[in-house]
């Protein structure tokens, strides 16, 4: 009798050949049939191999670890409460799409596991080729091929069990990244569970319990029934998720798991184009969208179409809003007597708000497309393509999850990196997120592209977004090679099945972004605009280089005509320029401007850059306030006024700079919190500033050479 013992549980879907395998392993002769649910209770037999006693438990076939039927409860309870040392997950090699669903739940249980690709002979006959090492890495456990009916691979399976028993426990969790809202709910429920069961549960166990509760597992809900606060909180979370996503929690978990499976199989399996592939729309569409050659051009084309629509369709409501803001400004101007209050309200608050609010339609349209891409499942494919593109550079795609979320806002994108297990990959993801063109930067790009490149504005914005993606990739490589050392972690990009988008979810996403932007306009941009106005208006008794009043009066007294009017306007403008340059804002900006002189930026641009640190939308508000006196109306007037302040080449350099320079106030806070160190927040500011300056310098330099 061997003195070392290990208990293994054979777990798998009904009819995947567990009992055949059990009989082969133990020499038993239990009844086997080619239909599901032959086993209805756990049966345990002991065998010996390489000096180990292996207690093999044959469990009823289950499709999921959520207790729907009594057999599923038997299987799930044996795994979770019977505590086998090793889980042997038996998979039908010819039907991995379905078999791996249970695997995703076993991964979450965090037990040491071994995967058995049973009936591998049948899979090969179908022309299916499986990359075993890749599958092992992505699923976090050894993989063995067996043919239960002939006993093929049984020796290798026994060896793998003993090897796993002899090795240190390392059930590495490759991680299933759920929707950020779902992850936030899991974290909140997990914290409550940890507080209710102090010291009893590991973080992995409390996470599993939180997932089961959110999934509505009746058995687990009944077990935790005494904790009324917890049950009530779970109910609230489920209702809130259902309200915001238009689908049940169970569906959300299932979609994420199937997405994970699809991602694993896209990497590790190739199969011929058979009837089953042709009948599956997801597989058919993936053959097009994930095509090795066509995939990226299709992605680029869709991005370009998105910006084309953002510009073309957005230009109509934008014009209405511009006219509305002008009407409002004119009417309010009529009510307030001339003086400082008049200037503060008209040239400060309304100019700043009006200059920014006109971009709400563009933002809403952009997010309509983003929501459409996300809801249909295409966004995950885009991230998958990026992941594949980065493989030659030795960098895995998990660092690119913020690539997708960062288009929205950098702060939740940085928070979403919590799903990345590897500290190195997470730090890289946090540090590259600020390079993603968040929606706050969109108004800047639309304003500049419209002002300097009116004929191909959408192509310029598309180019800026492409630069954003490329810069984040380059930054990931640089940070990975030079700053954060270490090996790469295996990674699975979840690929959810394609779905018809839900109108409710798309509208909710658009409304959320629109309201978010309006909230910023009402708070940050309003305050920012007023402060900029104060700084540009004071001090009022600045020394003059000449008596401007007398000079203007002298010119005005001359013979009337367009030349006189032009000369008076030029003199008036020069007077205003001098006053602005002597204002507090002018003095601060003039002091900093030498840093930006090689890029061709003037003091006004420096001001916009400084204020943009508060929030990137304030860049537009800054120009709106600074140019308010030299333009006739909002929007189009702002573009026209801006067009005269710099050359198109410098404008392009400015767009590149705004795209990449220091993250905003909130993002710095998020980096500080998530890395736990102000040093990384400071590094992010310095690193992004250096990259932005260098790339803007190159853009302006090359542009000047070409023009």
Please choose, out of 211-219, 253-261, 404-412, 651-659, the segment that lies near other proteins by the rule CB under 8 A: 404-412
Q: How far is the CB of 515 from other proteins (least distance, A)?
A: 13
Q: What is the DSSP letter of 583?
A: S
Residues of span 577-596 touching other proteins by CB under 8 A: none
Please choose, out of 155-163, 217-225, 260-268, 525-533, the segment that lies near other proteins by the rule CB under 8 A: 525-533
Q: How many other C-beta atoms are found inside a 10 Å radius of the C-beta of residue 690? A: 12
- Count Cβ atoms within 10 A of the Cβ of residue 660 and give its class: 0-12 exposed, 13-18 middle, 19 or more buried: buried
**What does each C-alpha distance from 598 to 587, 644, 662, 695 come to in angstroms?**
19, 19, 19, 12
Helices (H) and strands (E) in the chain, counts: 34, 8
Please choose, out of 115-123, 143-151, 526-534, 571-579, the segment that lies near other proteins by the rule CB under 8 A: 526-534
Region label for 5, one of left (φ > 0), alpha (ψ between -120 and 50) or beta (otherwise): beta
Q: How far is the CB of 672 from other proteins (least distance, A)?
A: 6
344 lies in the binding site for other proteins (CB under 8 A): yes
Distance CA(123)–CA(128), nearest Å, equals 5
Q: How far is the CB of 434 from other proteins (least distance, A)?
A: 12
Pick between residue 132 and residue 527 the one whose CB is nearest to other proteins: 527
Pick between residue 7 and residue 410 the one whose CB is nearest to other proteins: 410
* Interface pattern 607-646 for other proteins (x via CB under 8 A): ----------------------------------------
561 lies in the binding site for other proteins (CB under 8 A): no
* Residue whose token pair is 């399976």: 157
Please choose, out of 112-120, 164-172, 261-269, 411-419, the segment that lies near other proteins by the rule CB under 8 A: 411-419
**What does each C-alpha distance from 301 to 206, 325, 362 come to in angstroms?**
44, 35, 19
Long-range contacts formed by 316-321: CB under 8 A, 24+ apart: 316/361, 317/361, 318/358, 318/359, 318/361, 318/362, 318/635, 319/635, 319/636, 321/357, 321/358, 321/360, 321/361, 321/635
637: part of which helix (H) or strand (E)? helix 636-643
Query: What SS3 state is found at 143?
Result: strand
* Interface pattern 659-698 for other proteins (x via CB under 8 A): ------xxxxxxxxx--xxx--------------------
- Closest-CA residue to 35 (of 60, 16, 9): 16
HSE toward the beta carbon, residue 406, CA cutoff 13 A: 26
* Interface pattern 412-431 for other proteins (x via CB under 8 A): x-xx----------------
337 lies in the binding site for other proteins (CB under 8 A): yes
339 lies in the binding site for other proteins (CB under 8 A): yes
Distance CA(423)–CA(674), nearest Å, equals 11
436 lies in the binding site for other proteins (CB under 8 A): no
HSE toward the beta carbon, residue 357, CA cutoff 13 A: 24
# binding residues, other proteins (CB under 8 A):
26
Contacting other proteins (CB under 8 A), which of 196, 201, 527, 555? 527
Please choose, out of 52-60, 370-378, 530-538, 627-635, the segment that lies near other proteins by the rule CB under 8 A: 530-538
Please choose, out of 22-30, 41-49, 528-536, 579-587, the segment that lies near other proteins by the rule CB under 8 A: 528-536
Contacting other proteins (CB under 8 A), which of 411, 599, 619, 641? 411
232 lies in the binding site for other proteins (CB under 8 A): no
Pair 384, 495: CB distance under 8 Å = yes
327 lies in the binding site for other proteins (CB under 8 A): no
Per-residue H/E/C for 421-437: CCHHHHHHHHHHHHHCC
Region label for 88, one of left (φ > 0), alpha (ψ between -120 and 50) or beta (otherwise): beta
Pair 659, 471: CB distance under 8 Å = yes
Contacting other proteins (CB under 8 A), which of 531, 542, 551, 602? 531
* Interface pattern 353-392 for other proteins (x via CB under 8 A): ----------------------------------------
Q: How far is the CB of 523 from other proteins (least distance, A)?
A: 8
Q: How far is the CB of 674 from other proteins (least distance, A)?
A: 8
Pick between residue 162 and residue 671 the one whose CB is nearest to other proteins: 671
Name 591's Cβ contacts closer than 8 Å, sequence gap at least 6. none
Query: What SS3 state is found at 481?
Result: helix
Pick between residue 412 and residue 514 the one whose CB is nearest to other proteins: 412
Binding site for other proteins (CB under 8 A): 337, 339-341, 344, 409, 411-412, 414-415, 527, 530-531, 534, 665-673, 676-678
């Amino acid at each position: 009798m061997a003195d070392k013992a290990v208990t293994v549980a054979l777990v798998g879907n009904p009819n995947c050949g567990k009992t055949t395998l059990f009989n082969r392993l133990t020499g038993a002769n239990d009844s086997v049939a080619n239909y599901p649910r032959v086993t209805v209770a756990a049966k345990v037999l002991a065998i010996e191999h390489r000096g180990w006693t292996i207690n093999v438990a044959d469990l009823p076939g289950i499709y999921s670890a959520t207790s729907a039927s009594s057999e599923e409860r038997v299987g799930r309870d044996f795994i979770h409460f019977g505590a086998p040392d090793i889980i042997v997950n038996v998979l039908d090699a010819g039907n991995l799409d379905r078999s791996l669903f249970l695997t995703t739940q076993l991964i979450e249980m965090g037990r040491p596991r071994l995967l058995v690709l049973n009936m591998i002979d049948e899979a090969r006959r179908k022309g299916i080729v499986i990359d075993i090492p890749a599958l092992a890495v992505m699923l976090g456990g050894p993989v063995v091929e067996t043919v239960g009916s002939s006993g093929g691979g049984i020796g290798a399976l026994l060896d793998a069990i003993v090897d796993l028993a002899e090795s240190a426990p390392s059930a590495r969790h490759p991680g299933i990244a759920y929707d950020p809202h779902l992850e936030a709910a899991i974290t909140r429920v997990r914290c409550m569970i940890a507080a209710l069961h102090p010291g009893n549960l590991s973080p992995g166990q409390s996470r599993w319990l939180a997932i089961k509760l959110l999934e509505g597992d009746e058995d687990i809900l009944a077990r935790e029934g005494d904790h009324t606060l917890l049950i009530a909180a779970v109910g609230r979370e489920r209702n809130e998720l259902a309200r915001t996503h238009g689908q049940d929690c169970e569906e959300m978990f299932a979609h994420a798991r199937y997405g994970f499976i699809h991602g694993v199989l896209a990497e590790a399996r190739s199969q011929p184009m058979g009837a089953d592939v042709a009948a599956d729309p997801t597989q058919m569409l993936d053959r097009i969208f994930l095509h090795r050659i066509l995939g990226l051009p299709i992605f680029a084309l869709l991005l370009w179409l998105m910006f084309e629509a953002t510009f073309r369709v957005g230009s109509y409501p934008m014009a209405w809003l511009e006219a509305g803001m002008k009407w409002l400004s004119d009417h309010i101007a009529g009510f307030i007597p001339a003086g400082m209050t008049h200037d503060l309200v008209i040239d400060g608050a309304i100019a700043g708000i009006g200059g920014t609010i006109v971009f709400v339609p563009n933002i809403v349209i952009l997010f309509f497309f983003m929501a459409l891409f996300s809801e249909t499942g295409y966004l995950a494919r885009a991230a998958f393509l990026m992941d594949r593109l980065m493989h030659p550079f030795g960098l895995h795609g998990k660092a690119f999850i913020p690539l997708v979320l960062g288009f929205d806002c950098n702060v939740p994108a940085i928070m979403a990196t919590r799903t990345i297990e590897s500290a190195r990959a997470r730090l890289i993801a946090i540090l590259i997120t600020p390079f993603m063109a968040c929606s706050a930067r969109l108004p800047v790009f639309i304003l500049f592209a419209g002002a300097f490149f009116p004929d191909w504005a959408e192509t310029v914005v598309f180019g800026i977004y492409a630069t954003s993606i490329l810069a984040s990739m380059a930054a990931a490589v640089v940070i990975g090679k030079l700053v954060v050392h270490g090996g790469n972690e295996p990674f699975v990009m979840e690929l959810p099945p394609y779905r018809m988008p839900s109108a409710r979810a798309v509208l909710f996403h658009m409304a959320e972004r629109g309201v978010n932007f309006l909230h910023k306009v009402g708070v940050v941009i309003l305050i920012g605009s007023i402060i900029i106005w104060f700084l540009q208006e004071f001090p009022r008794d600045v020394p003059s280089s000449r008596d401007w009043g007398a000079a203007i009066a002298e010119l005005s007294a001359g013979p009337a005509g367009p030349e006189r009017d032009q000369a008076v306007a030029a003199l008036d403008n020069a007077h205003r320029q001098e006053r602005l340059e002597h204002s507090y804002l002018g003095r601060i900006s003039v002091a900093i401007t030498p840093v930006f002189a090689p890029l061709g930026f003037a003091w006004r641009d420096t001001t916009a850059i400084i204020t943009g640190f508060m929030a990137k939308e304030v860049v537009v508000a800054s120009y709106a306030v600074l140019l308010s006196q030299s333009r006739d109306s909002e929007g189009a007037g702002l573009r026209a006024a801006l067009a005269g302040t710099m050359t198109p080449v410098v404008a392009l350099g400015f767009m590149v700079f705004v795209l990449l320079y220091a993250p905003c106030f909130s993002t710095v806070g998020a980096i500080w919190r998530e890395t736990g160190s102000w040093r990384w927040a400071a590094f992010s500011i310095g690193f992004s500033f250096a990259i932005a300056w260098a790339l803007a310098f190159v853009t302006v330099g090359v542009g000047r050479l070409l023009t």
